[in-house]
């Protein structure tokens, strides 16, 4: 069995199986742990062992949709150090391109020190089980204000980069 870097295909007994999921690569910075001079976030919660292995958003009453919610990680994901060290959980949302208040799908994910948002394995892009199309992409956190793209983003089977650190996004 082999999996590509995007988590959307694999070989099982030499037969390729393709997922209909949409890989999304989000970049963001959380203000609380952000160190401006370094252009990175601190991973103090990880160092102190305070990041839960189960996503916190469902228990806090955040809306889950399209198969989101209940995500867990192996404790080994929190052993990575450096730029790829995990800072905390974030909640990504795909929202309707016509009515942005409508949440189509959610995924709990992890944000790294360098701002990359990754899946629960700690390395791959976040994969949504939604059809290709245009969506607003929103990011939420339990202690920070959420943000959403200014315009819908076209998502296909190829990883889409959504850089929420840019004012134009």
Residue 128: name the closest of 152, 98, 150, 95 by CA.
95
3 pLDDT more than 80: no
**Rounded average pLDDT over 1-9:** 39
13 has pLDDT over 90:
no
pLDDT band per the 50, 70, 90 thresholds, residue 5: very low
Q: Where are the alpha helices (DSSP H) in the chain?
A: 44-47
The predicted model gives 115-119 an average pLDDT of: 97
Cα distances from 20 to residues 11, 26, 53, 93, 161, in angstroms, run 15, 19, 27, 17, 18
- Mean local confidence (pLDDT), 75-94: 97
Record the pTM.
Answer: 0.87
């Amino acid at each position: 069995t082999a999996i590509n870097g995007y988590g959307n295909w694999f070989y099982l007994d030499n037969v390729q199986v393709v997922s209909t999921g949409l890989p999304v690569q989000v970049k963001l910075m959380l203000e609380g742990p952000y160190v401006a001079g370094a252009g990175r976030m601190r991973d103090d919660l990880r160092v102190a062992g305070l990041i839960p292995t189960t996503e916190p958003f469902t228990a806090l009453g955040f809306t889950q949709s399209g198969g989101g919610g209940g995500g867990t990680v192996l404790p080994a994901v929190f052993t990575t150090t450096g730029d790829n060290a995990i800072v905390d959980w974030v909640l990504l949302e795909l929202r309707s391109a016509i009515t942005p208040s409508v949440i189509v799908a959610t995924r709990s994910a992890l944000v790294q020190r360098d701002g990359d948002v990754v899946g629960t394995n700690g390395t791959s892009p976040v994969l949504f089980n939604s059809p290709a199309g245009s969506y607003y992409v929103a990011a939420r956190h339990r202690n920070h204000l959420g943000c959403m793209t200014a315009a819908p983003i076209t998502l296909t089977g190829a990883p889409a980069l959504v850089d929420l650190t840019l004012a134009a996004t």
